[in-house]
Amino acid sequence: MNARSYPTLHDCDPGSDDAITLLTLLGRLDVNLLGVSTTHGNAPLSATTQNARALLKLAGREDIPVYAGALTPLVREPVYAPQIHGVTGLGGVPLPSPSVPVKSEHAALTLIRQLCAQPGEITLLATGPLTNLALAERLRPGVLKEAKQIIIMGGSLENGAPRLGNTTPRAEFNAYADPHAFDVVLKAGANLALIGLNLTRQVQVTRARAQQLAAVGTAAAQTCSALLDDYLDRIGKLGQTVGALHDPCTAALMLSPELFDWEEAHVDILTDSGERFGETVQVGGEPNVQLVTGANEAGIYALVAEALRRLP
């Protein structure tokens, strides 16, 4: 596994599960992480960017560039998730202070530059609101088609029907946080895989899973375990005992697609104001996504644990 066979960009809003995704990528010898781009989302952009840099420091990989992106969504007001991730995005989990500054290039321009430099080669993992991707597409129409694949954590669909959201009764957080951007990306004609709540709820977060990661023993694994415990503490206050390992499913799909099932589908997002704002819907018509429908929970945790074992 020495060949860096997965040229990858990670657009994210860390966020505890974004953090686990990023560390999983960093623990893989076969991933060539070309950059981390950040967006508003779980916390304001300044916090998500700081978190991405701190995670790279934790992994001893400050050579990987961080590009800050969208401060706000395309149209709507920003919405954050302090009740799930804390006001700084990573709960109270301690991380080292980053020493390498953020790059001056805007994340959307980075996406354009990198995707155009290696057409058809790069997998783009998108684990936050899709504002940076939409900005890139608006600035350079067609650019998202240059990705080998874009794997998105967002939305929620089951057997063609919407399932309960996690932010409103109908909408998932990343979709709700910038539905207009989500719409731009769905319409870009790119090779999209969509991992919604219908999928991630099959990959449960429990105290036992947090302990499984802690037992790996590395600082990175113990940080991930602490992040899961913090997440369980927070959703516990909201009356939930079991969570979902959302964002790491994107990395797992890229690295081990045999752990998943999917089907071709046409998915739209509702952007009219009202109670269905941000809801994803499956409709007839030409497929525009691979809708991921099934996951091997134990296999995904094993993949994450194995990657975290290789980090400091």
Active-site residue identified among 40, 180, 246, 266: 246
Quote the tokens at residue 237.
């206050």
Q: Which of 175, 106, 110, 104 has its CA nearest to residue 143?
A: 110
Q: Does 173 bind ligand BDR (CB under 6 A)?
A: yes
CA 283 – CA 265 distance, rounded (Å)? 8
Cβ–Cβ under 8 Å, residues 86 and 14: no
The yes-or-no answer on residue 180 being catalytic is no
DSSP H or E stretch at residue 9: strand 6-12
Total number of residues that touch Ca ion (CB under 5 A):
6
CA 26 – CA 38 distance, rounded (Å)? 16
CA 125 – CA 22 distance, rounded (Å)? 10
| Of 10 and 148, CB closest to ligand BDR | 10
Site for ligand BDR in 115-134 (CB under 6 A): 127
Q: What's the closest the beta carbon of residue 241 comes to Ca ion, in angstroms?
A: 21
Q: Does 279 bind Ca ion (CB under 5 A)?
A: no
Q: Does 174 bind ligand BDR (CB under 6 A)?
A: yes
CA 211 – CA 226 distance, rounded (Å)? 9
Q: Does 84 bind ligand BDR (CB under 6 A)?
A: yes
| Of 195 and 216, CB closest to Ca ion | 195
Q: Does 243 bind Ca ion (CB under 5 A)?
A: no
| Identified binder of Ca ion from the candidate list 49, 127, 218, 282, rule CB under 5 A | 127
Burial 231-257 (b: 16+ CB within 10 A, else e): bbebbeeeeeeebbbbbbbbbbbbbee
Q: Among 2-10, 12-20, 118-126, 268-276, which window interacts with Ca ion (CB under 5 A)?
A: 12-20
Q: Among 49-57, 165-173, 214-222, 304-312, which window interacts with ligand BDR (CB under 6 A)?
A: 165-173
Q: Does 86 bind Ca ion (CB under 5 A)?
A: no
The 10 Å Cβ neighbour count of residue 90 is 26
Residues annotated as catalytic are 246
Q: Rule CB under 6 A: which residues touch ligand BDR?
A: 15, 17-18, 42, 81, 84, 127, 153, 166, 172-174, 246-247
